[in-house]
Amino acid sequence: MASTQAAAASEQAPTKNPTLLAWVAKMAAMTQPDRIVWCDGSEAEKQRLTEQAVKDGTLIPLNPQKRPGCYLHRSNPNDVARVEHLTFICTPNKTDAGPTNNWMEPEAAYTKLSQLFEGCMKGRTMYVVPYAMGPLGGASTKIGVELTDSDYVVLNMRIMTRMGKAALDMLGDSDDFNRGLHSTGDVNPDRRYICHFPQDNTIWSFGSGYGGNVLLGKKCLALRIGSYLGREEGWLAEHMLILGVTSPKGETTYIAAAFPSACGKTNFAMMIPPKEYAGWKIETVGDDIAWMRPGPDGRLYAINPEAGYFGVVPGTNYKTNPNAMETISKDTLFTNVALTPDGDVWWEGKDGEVPEELIDWQGKPWKKGSTEKAAHPNSRFTAPMSNNPVLSAKANDPQGVPISAIIFGGRRSNTVPLVLQAFNWTHGVFLGATMGSETTAAATGKVGVVRRDPMAMLPFCGYHMGDYLQHWLDMQKSIPQLPKIFQVNWFRQDKNGKFIWPGYGENMRVLEWIVNRVQGRVPTQETLLGWVPRQDQGLNLKGLDMSEEAVQEATSIKEDEWKSELKSQEVFFEQLGTKAPEALMLQRKLLIARLDG
């Protein structure tokens, strides 16, 4: 039956690519779907799948007057986030995966998951989803094909990637494509695995329906597999936003920035400058992922491989991110938010009064004042990037944009100043390697513990973190015009535990200083840790309701705090063992020597 179905599917397939057809047939023989459907990415297909998902109860239509083209999805309550402990890097040698990844031997992984995939699609449809990560026709673009039994996945992949016939046409007869296999299975956490096979350019995901685990183009291909391919091919796959900032004179500077979760990454990518910056413009190239490679002119060029945004909803409002609110006003899929009586969606932190009654993210009645969250803290929106009012015209440019500055930022209540420029590339890599954020009580039970998250890539690097950092150092040789590297921290607190810096749109003041440094327009003050703004020719503070003492506190460098910081970094570098790059160890020794001197 399965082989007959596979043969029929091959006959109906919109491609003659022999490698692709053989792989689809082999996977179909294992999973045994009742039907195989090749996705073309058309509007008619979207309408058909949406109608079917509504009929099946997978999607709930929202009020078309309030949210045109929008739908709500509720996932299984046991399946609401990425599962790092069930995410594996499958390399022949455990050392290649490194100490920060879970490892499984490839043959063992294929054997274990094959038993789960065997017959798992009986009674279901297998969708063949060809997709492009990156602008169509671009040299940096990669093609993937995801096989899935979830129409929710297909509809999300349609938003997040360039999906369908165009991707299949770009692939042609090539065998160079990522092979992704996914089934929701029975959504049992005991049978849930997300396995990456870097050497095979393959991803197998079983037992989950949550986006980060099943939209295989996103974290799986774009970062875990992408980072491995980047090292092999001489480029960087990074967990970074890309923005363009244009001055009133029409000069545009492109910047990539890495922030761990809960550090305002999407807000920064879509920032609206304060009124004092009339004539300045921020445009979004990407909000989450950057693929960067050396260009023919010696600069580093970046593309956003995605076509949509898969963002966290709680806390999003017209103060924190007005452009995101506009982006999710139409043609958006919401996952695990609350439903209002009039068919709109609600989440904690949304503008306006808290409704008296809601249906919560699990489909249960909810009343104002409840101690339970109405929307899950990790509830999501999936929205096309074309909805973004400040989308850059370069977002679909196959060549990408030239990166002049790279920013690393975490959430730190002390130690790290508002902004700091690295002395050079190696020093900048050191700052990125040691970046981190302080934990909250909700996360660990302990407050203020620094969790190191090098380049915000700890959960997403597809190989040994020490080799990854060395790859960053090695990239210097192939980029004659290196971007300047900066470190920022919007979250420094005063003695009363209040944030010193106002953040949000006021971060434009820091961004302007970074642009001026890149263009060589402002002098700076050298410190033991890097270059910081001078008091006389530094940050533009015009119109900012902030005392001079507060500004000094936000930008200060306290040697005793940095001595403790350097000591606490030891644990991270010890974890890397012999693969800790020597150049970074020397940077650390130099900093210690300067502080001790």
Nearest to 470 by CA among 367, 577, 370, 580: 580
Among 71-80, 458-467, 510-519, 540-549, the range scoring the smallest mean pLDDT is 540-549
**Mean pLDDT rounded to a whole number for the chain:** 95
Nearest to 479 by CA among 422, 425, 408, 401: 425
pLDDT at 446: 63
Residue 244: in which H helix or E strand, if any?
strand 241-246
The C-alpha torsion from 457 through 458 and 461 to 467, rounded to 10°, is 100
Q: CATH for 238-306+392-596?
A: 3.90.228.20
Is 9 a residue whose pLDDT tops 80?
Answer: no
CATH number of this structure's domain 2-57+82-233, picked from the four choices 3.40.449.10, 3.30.2130.10, 3.40.50.720, 3.40.50.2300: 3.40.449.10
Band of residue 440 on the pLDDT scale cut at 50, 70, 90: low
What's the Cα-to-Cα distance from 40 to each of 34, 45, 170, 267, 438, rounded to whole Å? 19, 7, 13, 33, 45
CA distance 404 to 254: 6
The answer to whether the beta carbons of residues 313 and 379 sit under 8 Å apart is: yes
Question: Which residue numbers are catalytic?
Answer: 263
Is 439 a residue whose pLDDT tops 90?
Answer: no
pLDDT at 443: 42
Tens digit of each residue's pLDDT (9 = 90 or more) over 443-461: 445 667 889 999 999 999 9
DSSP 8-state symbol, 315: T
CATH number of this structure's domain 309-387, picked from the four choices 2.40.50.100, 2.170.8.10, 1.10.287.130, 2.160.20.10: 2.170.8.10
Share of the chain above pLDDT 70, in %: 97
Tens digit of each residue's pLDDT (9 = 90 or more) over 138-192: 999 999 999 999 999 999 999 999 999 999 999 999 999 999 999 999 999 999 9
Amino acid at 246: T
CA distance 230 to 300: 14
CA distance 325 to 474: 40
Band of residue 261 on the pLDDT scale cut at 50, 70, 90: confident
What are the sequence ranges of the domains in the chain?
2-57+82-233, 238-306+392-596, 309-387
| Helix/strand/coil percentages in the chain, nearest 5 | 35, 20, 45
Higher pLDDT, 401 or 538: 401
Same fold, 238-306+392-596 and 309-387: no
Rounded to an integer, the average pLDDT of 513-533 is: 94
On the 0-12 / 13-18 / 19+ scale of CB atoms within 10 A, 49 is: buried
CA distance 405 to 354: 41
**What is the value of pTM for the model shown?**
0.96
